[in-house]
Amino acid sequence: MVAEKYYIDKSQWESIARDWLKQHEIIAPQQETGGLFFQPVHRGNLHSVVYHLARSVQPLKTFLLPPLEEVVGHPVEMKKPWLFLGVKACDLQALPILAQAFGGDFADAAFQKRLQDSVIISCDCTEPWDTCFCTMVGGKPYPEKGYDLNLIRVSDGFVVEVGSLRGKGLLEGHESMLKDVLKEDKMNIEQSRSEIEKRVIAQNAKYPVKGILRELVGSRWESPAWSEHAKTCVECGACNHACPTCHCYFLDDVTRKAFVKLRGWDSCMYSGYAVTAGGGTPRPALVERFRNRYFCKFKYLPENYGQLGCTGCGRCIEGCQGQIDMRSTLKDLSGS
């Protein structure tokens, strides 16, 4: 099935977005101190939305699976359905894993409602960060699926790709603003996507990895690379919390005026992770927890959910206080 594509002038696009604000809360990347951050958008700051560049500092899961929330008591509800604008491919790829982790027979109702009620409008990457490595894990620097609409910047506007019936519905009533995509724009998009993909491949050429990642990591249980790369880990958990697919959590009973149960993000890098009431732990050594994170991403999640748990967003590299680079670890595993 060939996706419907239209050209929309930038000023007309913002007019459409203003209409969406009547029914949705728009959340989009905006430039802040330290990088791009997803922030609420209102009529007066639509011009500040950053459509180009690459992924934001925080992953999309920050909204769908809050760092701390009440699960028994009074969970926070959405006042309006969320419309995420400017989502990049590496965050889109994480959503099927989260959906499965919090779905099934014992689905998390709050998570599922947030996900199902949210509109996803993605964008192509145009300036990948030096930590981006989506191509190393089978991804692309542009969305291929999982979006309602996808935007691609061209000249003075956007080419809009329709990815779902809900996305098509968002354009209803605005048909007069939708134009045919020029052949020249189609060619420019193909060329731009090819060039960006080559840039990502080129910047990761110094991290050659041989073989299929799932098989590679799964066969390196005794590799000395685990100890070598774990040396500078400070167990801060930044890699887990910044990751778009990590979803481990802990539950905490809090006594206030009434009983409240809180759920908060957990990290397999914490020394207290999976510790039992008697003090026992399956992974007492740091190197064991370090190795487990890679096995989770490249072996366990593919076995359970059918896809790698790493989308190559590079957030773990960017946030690591010990300057541990996953690409370097995988390279050394490949050579061990």
Identify the residue whose tokens are 């992974």. Answer: 283
Q: Which of 294, 262, 209 is nearest to 68 (CA)?
A: 262
Q: Tell me how far apart the alpha carbons of residues 316 and 131 are, in angstroms, rounded to a whole number.
A: 9
pLDDT tens track, the chain, 336 positions: 457 999 999 889 999 999 999 999 999 999 999 899 999 999 888 899 999 999 999 999 999 999 999 887 665 677 889 999 999 999 999 999 999 999 999 999 889 999 999 999 999 999 999 999 999 999 999 999 999 999 999 988 999 999 999 999 999 999 999 999 999 999 999 999 999 999 999 999 999 998 899 999 999 999 999 999 999 999 999 999 999 999 999 998 887 667 788 899 999 999 999 898 888 999 999 999 999 999 999 999 999 999 999 999 999 999 999 999 999 999 999 985
pLDDT value, residue 1: 47
Q: Are 212 and 308 in contact (CB under 8 A)?
A: no
| C-alpha to C-alpha distances, 295 to 73, 216, 268, 290, 336, nearest whole angstrom | 35, 10, 11, 9, 16
Distance, CA of 160 to CA of 6 (rounded, Å)? 5
Report the pLDDT value the prediction gives residue 151, as an integer from 0 to 100. 96
What is the amino acid identity at position 157?
G
Domain boundaries in the chain?
Answer: 5-203, 213-335
Query: Are the C-beta atoms of 143 and 150 separated by less than 8 Å?
Result: yes
Give 322's contacts (C-beta < 8 A, 6+ positions apart). 231, 232, 233, 234
